[in-house]
C-alpha cells in the first residue's frame, strides 16, 4: 500500500488545477484517511472527492478524523459544515459509524471540568450547519491536581490604560506563580513548581502584544514571542537582503541606505545625511561612503566601508550561504541581537534565512539569482512561517496567538484580553455559495447614501453567527492547551448578561456561566458542578490583581547559543576589550565655579558690547515719551501694582516673601516663560497668590510682545545640547532659541534680578562664558551663525553677549587644567 500526504498550500492549488485528470491516479489508492478534517476548505474537499471517485460508494474505504470544536480557520475559508455533511454521508450512505474520542489525556480534572462546564452552556445548540453540540470530556489524569483562576481588572479609561493594566496584571501573576512556587506541575511523573518555561500566554489577536511585552520586561520576566507567517516581513530578513543586494549591485543606493541603518552597521540618520552630502549626487552612495570614510578613518562609516569592501571582494567567490555566514560573523551582529527583547527569535530567523539560501545554492543559484528569489518572496509576501526555537529547552514564557498554539500543550496557560470586543464587520460585498451576492448600493430615495441591500443584511447576520461560533471554538482551543493550570484575565463586567446570546465578550461568557456577582468577588471564588461530576469545582476569582505581590525589575540577560557553523569558536578568539577612558562632561556652572574659587569672578574679561547691542530698560523707555522705539527695545510698560503707587510690579515679583529665594524665583520664571500657566506653576512651589500669578503673566506677555521676539518664525524652549567647545564637552539647556523675521537666529537666556547702568558691565562679564558656550552649541545645532542675548526679566532689557572665541578657549583650558590637576597646555 502506498502512503502519501498532501498538505502545503501550493500543492493544494496545483492539485486543484489537475482534478480533471486525477482519474489516472485513483487506482493507486485503496484507502483514504483525512486528518484534521474540521479545517477542510472547499478546494481541499474537491480534491478529496476527486481522489475518492468510486471509493466513495464502498464501505470501509474512507476514514475521517477531526474535532469540529477545533475548527478555527474560517478566515482561510475552512468550512466546518463540510465535517457535518461528510459525517452524515459516512453514516447514512456508506454504512459507517462515528467513533467518539471523549477521553482527555492532557489536562488535569480541574481544567477538564471547567471546560466541560463552560462549553456545555456555550455550545448547547446544533441547529445551524456550523454548530455542534458539546460533548463532555473525561479526564485521564485523575491522580493529578490543577487549578483554574480568573483575574478581573477594574475598568480603566482610556482604553490604552486599561490594556496596560491588564497586561501588568498578567505579568504580576506570572512572576508570583514562579517565584512563590504556587503552581506545581507534573512532568514525566515528577512533581515540581512551574518555571517561566512552563507558561504560555495565548492571545486571540496580536493587537495588544506590545502591552504584554512591555509588562513582561517591566517585571523582569524572560519571554519569547512565537510568531506566525510573516518571515519575509521581518526586519532582520530585510537587513540581510539589503546587504546581499548591495554586494550584487554596488549602485543600489536604496539597499545601501537600509543596510547602513541596520544593526550590522548602526549608522545614524544624521551621519547618513553627511555621507550622502559628501560627494556629487550623480555618484553612487557607495562611492560617497568611501570618500567620507577616507576623510574620517576612525569613524563608524570607515568601519562600514571596510566591511563592505571585504565582503564585495569575496562575494563572487564564496557560495551565497557561506557569504551570509561571513557577514554575520564579521559584523558581530549577534552581540547586538542578544541584547534585544526578541533576540532569540531574530537569531533563529537569521539562521533560517541562511538555510533557505543554502537550499537555493544547492540548486545551482548564484548570488544574483538568490537576490532575485528573495525579492520575489518579499514582494509577493510569501507566507513563510518564522523560525521556531525549541520550546522544551527555553526557560522563557511563550507568547503566541491561539492559532499558533494549536496542537501544542503547556503546563500553565494564561488567556488574557477576555473583554476585547470582536472586530466589526465592514464588508460591503459578500459572495456565498448558491450564487448569493450582497452589496451596498446607493439609495436614490435617501440622498444616494450607500445602504445594505436586504440580501447583504441577511448575509451579514449569517456571517456574524458564523464568527460567533468560531470565537467559541477559538476559546475552546485556548483553554484546552493547558495541562495543569489555567489563568484567565479580563475586565470586571458592568453587569451579568441574562443569556449566552446577550454576551458580547468572552468575559461576558464567563460572567453568564459562572454567575459572577459581588458575593462571588467577596468570597474570592465560586463553586460549580461540571456535567457528569459529583464533586464541585472551585474557580478562584481575583478582582484586585494589582495587589498580587510582585516586584518591578530588569530581566537578566538570556544566554544565546550561536551555532558552530555560524561562528566557530576555534576560528574567532575574542581579543580583550580595550575600553576608552570615559570623557568628563562639564556644565558651564562647574567651570564658572572653579574660576570663582580661584579668586576670580568666574567670568571672562571681554570687550563690552556697544550701545546698539543693549536695549533700554523699562524705566528709560518710560522716561522718554518722545523717543521712538529703540533697537530691540521692549514696547510694553507694565502698570504700577495696586496699593503702593511707587512700587514696580517687578519688585513685587522679586521681593515677595512667599516667592522664596532667588533660585526659586528663577525656576518659576523659566517655567512661566515656557508658556505654562503661572497659577499652576506657583502652586507647585506652594504659593497660592492670584496677584503674584498675574505679575508673572505680565512679565511673560511683555517678553512675548518685545520687538526681539515678535514675529519669530521658529521658536524653541529649553533646547538640550551636548557640544564640544575648546576641546571640552558640555551639556546644558538653552532657554530659548528662535528665528527672527529677517531669518537670523538668536538665543536668549533669562536672568532675574535688577540690573542698572552701574552693574550692567559686571553682569555681562559674569555670564560671558556661559553665553559663549551656548552660542557655540546653538551654532552646532543649526549650522548657522547665532547671536546670543541676556534677557533681564525684572527690567525687560535685552543685552547681547559679545563673541570672543579666543577668550572662551583660554578660560576653558585654564579651568579644565585646574580641575584635572594638570598644567594648562
152 shares its domain with 212: yes
Q: Confidence band (pLDDT; 50, 70, 90) for 639?
A: very low
Q: Please give the residue range of the domain that contains residue 284.
A: 231-379
Residue 137 exposed, middle or buried by CB count within 10 Å (0-12, 13-18, 19+): buried
Question: Between these two residues, 610 and 674, which has the higher pLDDT value?
Answer: 674
In a domain, 400, yes or no: yes
Give the span between the Cα atoms of 357 and 240, in whole angstroms: 11
pLDDT value for 725: 77
pLDDT at 570: 41
Q: What is the pLDDT of residue 728?
A: 79
C-beta of residue 588 within 8 angstroms of C-beta of residue 769:
yes
Q: What is the pLDDT of residues 306-317, one digit of tens each?
A: 999 999 999 988
**Are residues 281 and 235 both part of a single domain?**
yes
Domain assignment present for residue 537? The answer is yes
* Residue 82 shares a structural domain with residue 197: no
What is the tens place of the pLDDT at every residue in 408-429? 999 999 999 999 988 877 778 8
Which of 11-14's residues contact partners 24+ apart within 8 Å by CB, and which partners?
12/43, 12/44, 12/47, 13/43
Domain containing residue 363: CATH number: 1.10.486.10
Write out 83-104 in H/E/C secondary structure.
HHHHHHHHHHCCCCCCCCCCEE
Q: Are strands 138-139 and 103-104 parallel, antiparallel or unpaired?
A: parallel
Q: Answer yes or no: do 218 and 256 share one domain.
A: no
Q: Which of 460, 422, 462 is nearest to 440 (CA)?
A: 460
Q: Are residues 273 and 349 in the same domain?
A: yes
Domain at 159, CATH number = 3.40.50.300
Residue 629 lies in a domain: yes
Q: Report yes or no: 470 and 72 within 8 Å, Cβ to Cβ.
A: yes
- The answer to whether residue 764 sits within a structural domain is yes
Tell me, what CATH number does 782's domain have?
Answer: 3.90.320
Confidence of residue 823 (pLDDT cuts 50, 70, 90): low
Same-domain pairing of 368 and 405: no
- pLDDT of 581: 54
Residue 514 lies in a domain: yes
DSSP label of 78: -
Residues 6+ apart with CB under 8 A from 668: 659, 678, 681, 682, 685, 696
Q: Which of 294, 327, 308, 310 is nearest to 260 (CA)?
A: 308
For residue 436, tell me if it sits in a domain.
Answer: no
pLDDT tens for 513-527 read 999 999 999 999 999
Residue that is last in its domain, among 49, 76, 92: 92
- Reported as a pLDDT band with limits 50, 70 and 90, residue 769 is confident
Domain boundary among 92, 113, 139: 92
- Tell me, yes or no, whether 193 and 295 share the same domain: no
C-alpha cell at 775: 552660542
Q: What is the mean pLDDT of the chain?
A: 80
The C-alpha R_g of the chain, in whole angstroms, comes to 37
Query: In 3D, which of 235, 241, 193 has the Cα closest to residue 376?
Result: 241
Provide the CB-side half-sphere exposure for 438 (13 A, CA). 19
- 21 pLDDT tier (thresholds 50, 70, 90): low
Please indicate whether residue 294 or residue 86 has the higher confidence score (pLDDT): 294
The verdict on residue 40 lying in a domain is: yes
Q: Where a domain ends, among 28, 61, 92?
A: 92
Q: Answer yes or no: do 755 and 621 share one domain.
A: yes
pLDDT at 54: 60
**CA dist., res. 351 & res. 325, Å (int):** 9
Are residues 811 and 717 both part of a single domain? Answer: yes
Average pLDDT of the segment spanning 760-785: 86
**Cα separation, 418 vs 203, whole angstroms:** 9
What was the pLDDT predicted at 229?
55
Q: Average pLDDT, stretch 780-790?
A: 90
Q: Which residues of 425-450 are buried (b: 16+ CB within 10 A; e: fewer)?
A: eeeeebeeeeeeebeeeeeeeeeeee
Q: Confidence band (pLDDT; 50, 70, 90) for 386?
A: low
Would you place residue 652 in the very low, low, confident or very high pLDDT band (cuts 50, 70, 90)?
very low
The 10s digit of each residue's pLDDT in 227-256 is 655 678 888 999 999 999 999 998 899 999
CB 114 within 8 A of CB 478: no
- At 586, phi and psi to the nearest 5? -100, 155
From residue 477, give the alpha-carbon distance in Å to each of 72, 469, 703.
8, 13, 66
Q: Can you name the residues that pair with 697 across neighbouring β-strands?
A: none
Q: Which residue has the higher pLDDT, 420 or 566?
A: 420
Q: pLDDT class for 478, splitting at 50, 70, 90? A: very high
In the chain, the number of structural domains is: 4
Residues 29, 175 share a domain: no
480 in Cβ contact with 110 (< 8 Å): no
**Model pLDDT, residue 156:** 86
Write phi, then psi, for 803 (nearest 5 degrees): -95, 120
Q: Are residues 213 and 320 in the same domain?
A: no
In a domain, 641, yes or no: no
Buried/exposed code over 357-393 (b: 16+ C-beta within 10 A; e: otherwise)? bbebbeeebebeebbebbeebeeeeeebebbebebee
401 with 525, same domain: the answer is yes
Amino acid at each position: 500500500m502506498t502512503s502519501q500526504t498532501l498538505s502545503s498550500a501550493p500543492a493544494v492549488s496545483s492539485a486543484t488545477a489537475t482534478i480533471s485528470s486525477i482519474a489516472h491516479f485513483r487506482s493507486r489508492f485503496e484507502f483514504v484517511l483525512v486528518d484534521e478534517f474540521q479545517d477542510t476548505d472547499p478546494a481541499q474537499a474537491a480534491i478529496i472527492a476527486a481522489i475518492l471517485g468510486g471509493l466513495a460508494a464502498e464501505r470501509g474505504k474512507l476514514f475521517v478524523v477531526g474535532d469540529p470544536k477545533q475548527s478555527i480557520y474560517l478566515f482561510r475559508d475552512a468550512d466546518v459544515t463540510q465535517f457535518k455533511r461528510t459525517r452524515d454521508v459516512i453514516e447514512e450512505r456508506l454504512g459507517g459509524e462515528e467513533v467518539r474520542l471523549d477521553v482527555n489525556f492532557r489536562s488535569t480534572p480541574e481544567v477538564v471540568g471547567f471546560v466541560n462546564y463552560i462549553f456545555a452552556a456555550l455550545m448547547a445548540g446544533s441547529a445551524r450547519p456550523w454548530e455542534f453540540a458539546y460533548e463532555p470530556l473525561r479526564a485521564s489524569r485523575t491522580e493529578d491536581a490543577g487549578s483554574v483562576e480568573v483575574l478581573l481588572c477594574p475598568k480603566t479609561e482610556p482604553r490604552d490604560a486599561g490594556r496596560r493594566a491588564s497586561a501588568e496584571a498578567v505579568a504580576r501573576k506570572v512572576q508570583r506563580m514562579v517565584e512563590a512556587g504556587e503552581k506545581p506541575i507534573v512532568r514525566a511523573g515528577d512533581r515540581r513548581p512551574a518555571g517561566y518555561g512552563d507558561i504560555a500566554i495565548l492571545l486571540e489577536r496580536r493587537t495588544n502584544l506590545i502591552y504584554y511585552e512591555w509588562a513582561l520586561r517591566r517585571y523582569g520576566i524572560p519571554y519569547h514571542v512565537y510568531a506566525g507567517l510573516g518571515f519575509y516581513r521581518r526586519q532582520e530578513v530585510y537587513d540581510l537582503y539589503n546587504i546581499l543586494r548591495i554586494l550584487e549591485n554596488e549602485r543600489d543606493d536604496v539597499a545601501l541606505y537600509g543596510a547602513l541603518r541596520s544593526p550590522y552597521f548602526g549608522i545614524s540618520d544624521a551621519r547618513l545625511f553627511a555621507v550622502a552630502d559628501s560627494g556629487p549626487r550623480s555618484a553612487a552612495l557607495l562611492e560617497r561612503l568611501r570618500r567620507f570614510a577616507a576623510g574620517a578613518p576612525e569613524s563608524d562609516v570607515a568601519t562600514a566601508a571596510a566591511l563592505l569592501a571585504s565582503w564585495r571582494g569575496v562575494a563572487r567567490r564564496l557560495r551565497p550561504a557561506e557569504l551570509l555566514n561571513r557577514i554575520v560573523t564579521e559584523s558581530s551582529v549577534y552581540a547586538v541581537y542578544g541584547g534585544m527583547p526578541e533576540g532569540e527569535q531574530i537569531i533563529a530567523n537569521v539562521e533560517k534565512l541562511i538555510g533557505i539560501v543554502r537550499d537555493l545554492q544547492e540548486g545551482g543559484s548564484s548570488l544574483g539569482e538568490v537576490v532575485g528569489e528573495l525579492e520575489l518572496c518579499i514582494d509577493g509576501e510569501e507566507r513563510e512561517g518564522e523560525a521556531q526555537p525549541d520550546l522544551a529547552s527555553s526557560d522563557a514564557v511563550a507568547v503566541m496567538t491561539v492559532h499558533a498554539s494549536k496542537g501544542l500543550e503547556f503546563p500553565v496557560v494564561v488567556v488574557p484580553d477576555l473583554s476585547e470586543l470582536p472586530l466589526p464587520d465592514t464588508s460591503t460585498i459578500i459572495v456565498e455559495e448558491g450564487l448569493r451576492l450582497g452589496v451596498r448600493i446607493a439609495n436614490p430615495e435617501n440622498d444616494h447614501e450607500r445602504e445594505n441591500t436586504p440580501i447583504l443584511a441577511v448575509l451579514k447576520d449569517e456571517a456574524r453567527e458564523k464568527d460567533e461560533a468560531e470565537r467559541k471554538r477559538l476559546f475552546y482551543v485556548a483553554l484546552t492547551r493547558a495541562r495543569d493550570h489555567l489563568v484567565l484575565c479580563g475586565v470586571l463586567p458592568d453587569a451579568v448578561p441574562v443569556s449566552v446570546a446577550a454576551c458580547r465578550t468572552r468575559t461576558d461568557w464567563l460572567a453568564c456561566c459562572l454567575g459572577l456577582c459581588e458575593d462571588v468577588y467577596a468570597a474570592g471564588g465560586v463553586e460549580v458542578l461540571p456535567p457528569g461530576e459529583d464533586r464541585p469545582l472551585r474557580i478562584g476569582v481575583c478582582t484586585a490583581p494589582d495587589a498580587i505581590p510582585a516586584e518591578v525589575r530588569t530581566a537578566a540577560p538570556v544566554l544565546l547559543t550561536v551555532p558552530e557553523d555560524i561562528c566557530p569558536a576555534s576560528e574567532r578568539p575574542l581579543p580583550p576589550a580595550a575600553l576608552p577612558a570615559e570623557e568628563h562632561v562639564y556644565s558651564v556652572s562647574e567651570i564658572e565655579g572653579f574660576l570663582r574659587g580661584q579668586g576670580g569672578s568666574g567670568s571672562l574679561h571681554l570687550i563690552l558690547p556697544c550701545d546698539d547691542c543693549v536695549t533700554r530698560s523699562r524705566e528709560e523707555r518710560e522716561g522718554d515719551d518722545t523717543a521712538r522705539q529703540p533697537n530691540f527695545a521692549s514696547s510694553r510698560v507694565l502698570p504700577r501694582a495696586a496699593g503702593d503707587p511707587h512700587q514696580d510690579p517687578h519688585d513685587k515679583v522679586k521681593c515677595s516673601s512667599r516667592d522664596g529665594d532667588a533660585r526659586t524665583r528663577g525656576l518659576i520664571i523659566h517655567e512661566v516663560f515656557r508658556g505654562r500657566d503661572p497659577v499652576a506653576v506657583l502652586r507647585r512651589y506652594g504659593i497660592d497668590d492670584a496677584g503674584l500669578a498675574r505679575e508673572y503673566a505680565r512679565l511673560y506677555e511683555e517678553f512675548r510682545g518685545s520687538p526681539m521676539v515678535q514675529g519669530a518664525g521658529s521658536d524653541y524652549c529649553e533646547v538640550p545640547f551636548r557640544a564640544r567647545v575648546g576641546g571640552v564637552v558640555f551639556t546644558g539647556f538653552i532657554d530659548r532659541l528662535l528665528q527672527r523675521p529677517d531669518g537670523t537666529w538668536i538665543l536668549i537666556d533669562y536672568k532675574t534680578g535688577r540690573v542698572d547702568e552701574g552693574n550692567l558691565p559686571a553682569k555681562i562679564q559674569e555670564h560671558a562664558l556661559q553665553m559663549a558656550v551656548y552660542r557655540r552649541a546653538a551654532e552646532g545645532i543649526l549650522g548657522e551663525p547665532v547671536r546670543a542675548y541676556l534677557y533681564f526679566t525684572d527690567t525687560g532689557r535685552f543685552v547681547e553677549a559679545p563673541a570672543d572665541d579666543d577668550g572662551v578657549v583660554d578660560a576653558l583650558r585654564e579651568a579644565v587644567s585646574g580641575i584635572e590637576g594638570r598644567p594648562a597646555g
